[in-house]
Amino acid sequence: MKLSAASRRMALLALCFGLLVPLGLSWPKESLAAASVSESAAQRTSQENAPAEVQSFAKGLIQSLSAQEAFASWRGSVASYDPLGPGTHAWLVSLAAGGKPVGYLIIAARPGGGLALAEYGAGPDPLYDPGRLTIEPGGKLEPLYGGPTLTQWRIVPPEDQSAAYLEASTGEALPDTDADWSKRSFGSSFFYHAVSSDAPEQPQPPVVTSAFFEPYDNLLWMTHKPLTAAINRLPNVLQTRKKLVFSSSGPARTYSQALPVTGYQQWTLSPKTAAPGASGALYIRSGTKESPRYILFDALAASGSFTDWTGK
């Protein structure tokens, strides 16, 4: 049997953890994207899912980022909102133009109050895209966010069958269960250095240090010791080394995940609101060539480590 690239990635992850993952889980061809509801009605329903402060914060972020060429596809886009489980600590903001996906944002509640930008991405293949999934009629679909390397779909088939967990970006089956998720806590404490609703920041143009690559094409990076890079040093590290690999870890995980690191985007605090010595937020560039993903550095640093890339 010939596995897809995504399946090969999940097989490697399973081998790293000594697990057997049922690859290639399929559902009857009834796509969620084919729901028979008008776009305007869907948008109205979606907006009811998010508080007004979430929508206001998202609007400002979209306006700031769409002014840059890297996010030009966001101009004139329509935003829809969905709560991200577990609980109601985060919201998924999906952007579409002409009925097609063009990007997303993930906004999270900060433990001390206010909102934070956890991550965002551009392109036609966003992190959470129900259009790449199929479920049984009557099945329920729930997006889950436990941090940047715990991005999943929870699918509950009809007739109260056990829920299945899929990796958000690929749709691949995961070994997770409801019991696994119940043991995890949402790591909201890492939003200290995030772009927040109470301290406006402006994005600088993204810095691209490398073309995209696949970490699983060469596994020698697994033999290297993790790098120790603080938020104020990582841009210099990337300028020198060009490519890094981020690998997830943690006792509550049932699988590992590796992400390519190919650049970054810095946000600057307004001189009027910045405290003396305060630095702006840093987001790490990952994802794919068509759909780059920008992830809060603190969120990654709290869930794994960075390693030198050893491939070509």
The pLDDT tens digits of the residues spanning 212-229 come to 999 989 889 998 888 876
Per-residue pLDDT averaged across 149-155, rounded?
90
CB burial string 27-51: b at 16+ within 10 A, e below: beeeeeeeeeeeeeeebeebeeebe
Task: Report residue 204 as tokens.
Answer: 């600088």
Share of the chain above pLDDT 70, in %: 76
Whether residues 181 and 270 share a domain: the answer is no
Q: Mark which of 163, 189, 215 sits at the end of a domain.
A: 189
pLDDT for the residue numbered 271? 59
pLDDT for the residue numbered 265? 96
Largest alpha-carbon pair distance within the chain?
Answer: 60
Domain assignment present for residue 194? The answer is no
Domain assignment present for residue 62? The answer is yes
Whether residues 58 and 113 share a domain: the answer is yes
User: From CA 263, how far away is CA 233, in angstroms rounded?
Assistant: 13
Phi, psi dihedrals of residue 207, rounded to the nearest 5°: -105, 120
Res 190 pLDDT > 80: no
> Between these two residues, 98 and 22, which has the higher pLDDT value?
98
Whether residues 180 and 245 share a domain: the answer is no
Domain that holds residue 282: 200-308
Whether residues 259 and 151 share a domain: the answer is no
Domain assignment present for residue 195? The answer is no
User: From CA 275, how far away is CA 201, in angstroms rounded?
Assistant: 13
Res 10 pLDDT > 50: no
Nearest to 128 by CA among 164, 156, 170: 170
Neighbours of 98 (CB within 10 A): 8
Domain assignment present for residue 156? The answer is yes
pTM of the model: 0.83
Q: State which amino acid sits at residue 214.
A: E
DSSP for residue 190: G
Lowest mean pLDDT among 8-22, 118-132, 254-268, 282-296: 8-22
Scanning the chain, the segments in alpha helix (DSSP H) are: 5-17, 39-47, 52-66, 178-182, 234-241, 297-301
User: From CA 76, how far away is CA 58, in angstroms rounded?
Assistant: 14
Q: State which amino acid sits at residue 114.
A: G
**Mean pLDDT for the chain overall:** 80
Whether residues 32 and 119 share a domain: the answer is yes
Q: Mark which of 189, 216, 235 sits at the end of a domain.
A: 189
Task: Report residue 139 as tokens.
Answer: 């099945």
Whether residues 19 and 109 share a domain: the answer is yes
Q: What is the pLDDT of residues 11-61, one digit of tens each?
A: 344 434 333 233 333 333 333 333 323 344 344 445 566 899 999 999 999
> Between these two residues, 148 and 38, which has the higher pLDDT value?
148
pLDDT for the residue numbered 149? 86
User: From CA 230, how far away is CA 36, in angstroms rounded?
Assistant: 48
pLDDT for the residue numbered 67? 96
Lowest mean pLDDT among 29-43, 65-79, 160-174, 237-251: 29-43
